[in-house]
């Protein structure tokens, strides 16, 4: 991860350089952690505008000030479409993306489908956490779609499911992502009680979550590994891809892919399409297929 600070060999006001990992970003400044576990605040140079939580970086220290001079090679970057289709980085160098859902606010299932497309493209492991199971469970039979596809689903609340979640977090860099109000920060507080990250109750008037986490923040887990608590989202659209590439996020398509009449079939209007036939035969979820069509419009 990080190299121990060492002399640059250049007499630049006694400059030192070293490597670290970004813990969080606040505008033109970041918090980063060195190999020795010490956290510093540093300035980000303008050319490194896309720096994000989880990035491995090179820093320079002159006097008591730190500056980030380079983003080291990334393993992957979780990115979403933002305003007018512009990309926005969420986090980098992720082993596992944990999508947190709950009975309230109501789950946006298409957003979950879209997230899984991006997770498969990273690539990274995907884990679904159904949180707040102590609340009334409404219409969560849809979860069975994902269970039947082989996705791991962990059901949690403040009193149960946490031991199983910890097993999946150990020795990995994971990120909690999901709608506002599903309990990502509350889970983080339970996993690491000493951090006391702020949380807010769900807005009763709107049934929409309130944003509490405004920046992605990385925490060290007591059992080993790291967790990134990210701000709540109300929508998620992957970056534009060639239409054929969206199929990788719909893993149930795989057994039928080579059965279509045309090798470059996009499973929309083409004749003799095995995917469309599988939907008609209820071998593929109609709801999931509609999510695929929405991405490939």
pTM: 0.87
Higher pLDDT, 193 or 127: 127
- Per the model's pLDDT, the better-predicted residue between 140 and 72 turns out to be 72
Q: Which pLDDT score, from 0 to 100, does residue 204 have?
A: 39
Predicted confidence at residue 156, as pLDDT, reads 94
Tell me the pLDDT band of 214, cut-offs 50, 70 and 90. Answer: low
Residue 161: left if φ>0, alpha if ψ -120 to 50, beta else—which one? left
Q: How far apart are CA 30 and CA 1, in angstroms?
A: 17
For the ranges 53-57, 83-87, 234-238, the lowest mean pLDDT is seen at 83-87
| Residue with tokens 């995907």, as numbered in its chain | 126
Q: For residue 100, what pLDDT is reported? A: 97
pLDDT of 14 = 60
**Max alpha carbon distance in the chain (Å)?**
72
Burial-class residue 193 by CB neighbours within 10 Å (0-12, 13-18, 19+): exposed
Instruction: Give the residue from 256, 228, 259, 244 showing the smallest Cα distance to 292.
Output: 244
Indicate left, alpha or beta for 67 from its phi (over 0: left) and psi (-120 to 50: alpha): beta
Would you state the pLDDT for residue 244? Answer: 86
Q: What CATH number matches the domain at 6-71, 2.40.50.140, 3.10.270.10, 3.20.20.140, 3.30.750.24? A: 2.40.50.140
Checking if the pLDDT of 27 tops 90, the result is no
| Over residues 109-126, mean pLDDT | 95
The residue among 1 and 170 whose pLDDT is bigger is: 170
190-199: average pLDDT: 73
Q: What is the dihedral of CA 164, 104, 126, 21, to 10 degrees?
A: -90
**pLDDT tens per residue across span 132-169:** 988 865 557 889 999 999 999 999 998 899 999 999 99
Is 95-229 in the same CATH topology as 6-71?
no
- Would you say residue 88 has pLDDT above 70? yes
Q: How high is the mean pLDDT of the chain?
A: 87
Enter the CATH code of domain 95-229.
3.40.50.300
Domain map of the chain by residue range? 6-71, 95-229, 243-295
CATH topology of domain 243-295: Ribonucleotide Reductase Protein R1; domain 1 (1.10.40)
């Amino acid at each position: 991860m990080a190299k121990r600070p060492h002399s640059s060999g250049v007499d630049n006001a006694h400059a030192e350089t070293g490597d670290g990992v970004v813990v969080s970003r606040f505008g033109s400044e970041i918090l980063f952690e060195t190999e020795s576990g010490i956290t510093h605040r540093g300035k980000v140079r303008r050319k490194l505008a896309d720096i994000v939580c989880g990035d491995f970086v090179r820093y320079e220290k002159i006097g008591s000030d730190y500056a980030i001079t380079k983003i080291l090679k990334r393993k992957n970057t979780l990115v979403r479409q933002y305003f007018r289709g512009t990309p926005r980085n969420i986090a980098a160098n992720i082993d596992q993306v944990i999508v947190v859902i709950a009975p309230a606010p109501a789950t946006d299932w298409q957003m979950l489908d879209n997230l899984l497309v991006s997770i498969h493209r990273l690539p990274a492991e995907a884990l679904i956490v159904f949180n707040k199971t102590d609340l009334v469970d409404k219409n969560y039979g849809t979860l069975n779609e994902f269970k039947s596809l082989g996705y791991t689903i962990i059901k949690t609340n403040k009193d149960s499911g946490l031991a199983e979640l910890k097993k999946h977090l150990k020795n990995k860099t994971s990120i909690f992502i999901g709608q506002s109000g599903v309990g990502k920060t509350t889970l983080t507080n339970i996993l690491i009680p000493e951090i006391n990250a702020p949380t807010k109750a769900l807005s009763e008037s709107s049934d929409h979550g309130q944003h509490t986490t405004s920046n992605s923040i990385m925490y060290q887990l007591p059992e080993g590994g790291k967790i990134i608590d990210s701000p709540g989202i109300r929508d998620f659209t992957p970056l534009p891809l060639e239409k054929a590439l969206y199929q990788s996020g719909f893993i149930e398509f795989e057994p039928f892919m080579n059965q279509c009449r045309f090798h470059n079939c996009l499973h929309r209007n083409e004749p003799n399409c095995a995917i469309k036939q599988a939907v008609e035969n209820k071998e593929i979820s109609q709801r999931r297929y509609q999510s695929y069509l929405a991405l490939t419009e």
